[in-house]
Structure 1
Amino acid sequence: MQLELTPANDSHCTFARDLTRRAMLPYYREYDLLWIEEAFDEAWGWREQWLVTEGDTLLGFCSLSQDRQALFIRELHLLPEHRRRGVGSWVLKELVSWARQRRLPLLRLMVFRSNPARLLYQRHGFVEMGEDECFVRMQRTIDW
């Protein structure tokens, strides 16, 4: 696999929004939350947006933000046909490296409580820091 994270631009917003909606709508329904297209589009403008690619093939995208302590994974979604082949693990390893390069001590995310991706994150060293009725907050300490 020749995977890459490449910068997304505004022309990729529709792809990313549709992929996120398809992946997350079952959880939104499960937890009785309202999907708001405008909220996604607004966040697109202030977050870092990255495409997950393999050569010329678009596999998915991830959305990041950062503060003084942590790199936050806001979204990480792959097209269904590219799941369960190590792409998500590769992205997580890359983001650990990015956090290290940015001299940030933590990599953080939130995941729906019922999302099986929790297990992927745990395998990659994320620990659960707390939860509410919908979400689990997880973080991984970055080794220097």
Structure 2
Amino acid sequence: MTFQLRRTSPEDLAFARSLTCQNMLRYYIQHDLLWQDDAFDVAWSGRESWLICRDEVAIGFFSLSRDARALYIRELQIAEAFQGQGAGSWAIDQVIEIASKERRPALRLTVFENNPAKNLYQRKGLQLQGKDECFLRMELDLRTPVL
């Protein structure tokens, strides 16, 4: 299975918002949080985002932000029909490559504590760094050379 990345354009906002809401609304409800389209749109505008495509069809996306300490995955969403087919794992590999090329010391993300995606992140080497109300903070230290 081959995947491709494509830089997002403003026209991709509706797809990304809809996909994120579809995938994440259950967690928002379970943790008594309020989903807000406007908040997603504001966050989207300040992030670097990439579509994950298979055969020219968008099946997901990821959004990134940066500071001196790390590259952050702010969103990683795969359409339900394509989950479990390697797209998420492939996307994380792409992000690790970006972080390495930029010489970022770490890759970081947060995930709902009850989201099974945390297992994928652990398999990809991210380790638990802490816990907030309903989120796990995870990190991959990129300063340590892999043997």
Could you say which TM-score interval applies, normalised by the shorter chain? over 0.9
Q: Which residue identity lines up with residue 55 of structure 2 in the other structure?
A: G
- The SS at the match of 1:140 is strand
Instruction: Give the superposition deviation at 1:86.
Output: 0.8
Q: Which residue identity lines up with residue 41 of structure 1 in the other structure?
A: D
Instruction: Give the superposition deviation at 1:132.
Output: 1.6
Unmatched 5+ residue regions in structure 1?
Answer: none
Structure 1 residue aligned with 2:61:
61
Structure-2 separation of matches of 1:35 and 1:133: 17
Structure 2 residue aligned with 1:38:
38
**CA offsets 1:66-112 (integer angstroms, 9 cap, x no match):** 11121100000011111101111111111111100011010000000
Unmatched 5+ residue regions in structure 2?
Answer: none
Structure-1 separation of matches of 2:70 and 2:5: 19
Structure-2 separation of matches of 1:44 and 1:74: 9
Instruction: Give the superposition deviation at 1:4.
Output: 1.4
Structure 1 residue aligned with 2:22:
22
1:125 is aligned to 2:102: no
Q: Which residue identity lines up with residue 28 of structure 2 in the other structure?
A: Y
Write out aligned runs for 1:1-144 (5 A): 1-142=1-142, 143=144
TM-score (norm 1): 0.97
Structure-1 separation of matches of 2:56 and 2:121: 27
- The SS at the match of 2:104 is coil
Seq. identity, %: 44
Instruction: Give the superposition deviation at 1:13.
Output: 0.2
Structure-2 separation of matches of 1:125 and 1:119: 10
- The SS at the match of 1:74 is strand
- The SS at the match of 2:125 is coil
Q: Which residue identity lines up with residue 101 of structure 2 in the other structure?
A: Q
TM-score (norm 2): 0.95
